[in-house]
Structure 1
Amino acid sequence: MAEIHIIGQIIGASKFNNKSLFCKWGIHAGGGWKLVAGLKEGQTQVDDPVYNDITYWSHPIDVHFSTKCVQGWPKLHVQVYHYDKYGRSELYGYGFCYIPTTPGTHVIECCTWRPIGRWRDEFFQYFMGGGPQLKIPDLIYSGSDRYRLQTIAMGVVHIEVGIILRNFKKYGIEI
C-alpha cells in the first residue's frame, strides 16, 4: 500500500485579538485511508505572550497513513480557543487546510473563522463570553453546508510539516 508520513509542528498563531490561546487539532482522512502510527488529534498548551502578539505552541505532529487511493486526502483542522481573565475557554476560530501532496517541507498558514450570530448574541458574547459554536464539527472541513454559515475572519495558525511519500508509483497512484 502507498504510505504518507506527516512530520512537523503547529508553530503558533498570529493576528488574534486576544492572548491566552490554545489549539485543538485533528487530521481527517477519507475511508480508504488507514492510520498506521501516531496520533491524529491533540491539543496544544496555553500560551500568553508578554512581548508580542504571536502565540507560540511548537506542538509536534507525527502521523503515518497508508492508502490504496488518493480520494479523501488528509486534511488538518484546527479549533483555536481563548482563556479569558475568569478562566473560561471561549472559541476563537475554526480552520482547516489540506496536507500538501508533494514531498518536502511546507509552511502552511491556516486562516480561521468563527460563526457570528444575531446582534443580541454578539452583545451577550462581549459581556458574558461564549458565543455561537458549530453543533456538527465536521462542517469545519466538509463544504456541504458551510456556505450557509455567517462567519467573521479571525487569526492565522502557522503550521510546518514535512511530507514523506512512499510506494505511490509502485501501486499506480499518481498525485
Structure 2
Amino acid sequence: MVGARDSVQAEVHLIGQLLGGSGFPSTQLFCRWNIHTGGAWHHLEGLKEGQTQVDNPLLGDTAIWAHPIDVHYTVKGITGWPKLVVQVYSLDSFGRTDLCGYGFCNLPATPGAHRIDCVTWRPTGSLRDEFRQQFVGGGPQLRSPELVYTPLDRYRLQTVAMGTVHVQMNVILRNFEQYGIEY
C-alpha cells in the first residue's frame, strides 16, 4: 500500500511578470529571461524562458515590458531553488542588438506577492574595446551564460554595473507541510 506521503508531491507555482528595466544607458530595450532550477525540480507546465518586446520609452528612462511569467514545478528537494536569469539588450536604429547587462536573482522561497529588483552588469574589455563599443557597438559577451548564476570563474571577470530589471512575482507553495517544511 502506498502511503499518503508517496502520492502527494510538493509543488511550486510562480506567477508574475517582468515589469521593466531602468537605469540602462540605451532606451530601446528588451530582455531575454529563463528560470534555472536544480535537479530535484520537475517542470510541469508554463514557459521556463522567453523574451520581451522592445520598448522605447518616451518619458523617463524606464522600459515597460509587462511580460508574463507563469511556471509550475513539482519538487523532490529544496536544493536548487529557482533563479531568474536575465539578459538585457538594446536595439539600435539599424536593427542591431547589443548586450546591456546580465543578471540573476533568487526567486522568493516564501509564499505571497514579492517585488524584486534584479541588478545587472556587463563584462568590460580593454580601453580600446570600450572606445569601439561607444561608436560601433558590440561589446564583450560571455561565452558561457552559466557564468551569470554560477560563481566558479566569475571572480576573474572585470565588469561594470548596468541597470535594474524590475520583477513582480507571486509564489504559491503546495504540500510542503507534508514533508515537514514550514513557511
Question: Normalised by the shorter chain, which TM-score bucket?
Answer: over 0.9
- Count matched residues: 175
1:1-175 aligned at under 5 Å gives the runs 1-173=9-181
CA RMSD of aligned residues (A): 0.9
**CA deviation vs aligned residue, 1:137-169 (integer Å, no higher than 9, x gap):** 001111111111100000000000000000112
Q: For 1:63 and 1:146, how far apart are their aligned partners in 2?
A: 28
Q: For 2:72 and 2:165, how far apart are their aligned partners in 1?
A: 22
Alignment check: 8 A CA contact 1:15 1:156 kept: yes
TM-score (norm 2): 0.93
- Gaps in structure 2 of 5+ consecutive residues: 1-8
> How much identity, in percent, do the aligned residues show?
59
Alignment check: 8 A CA contact 1:11 1:159 kept: yes
TM-score (norm 1): 0.97
Residue 39 of structure 1: how far off its partner (Å): 0.5
Q: For 2:144 and 2:10, how far apart are their aligned partners in 1?
A: 31
Residue 174 of structure 1: how far off its partner (Å): 5.1
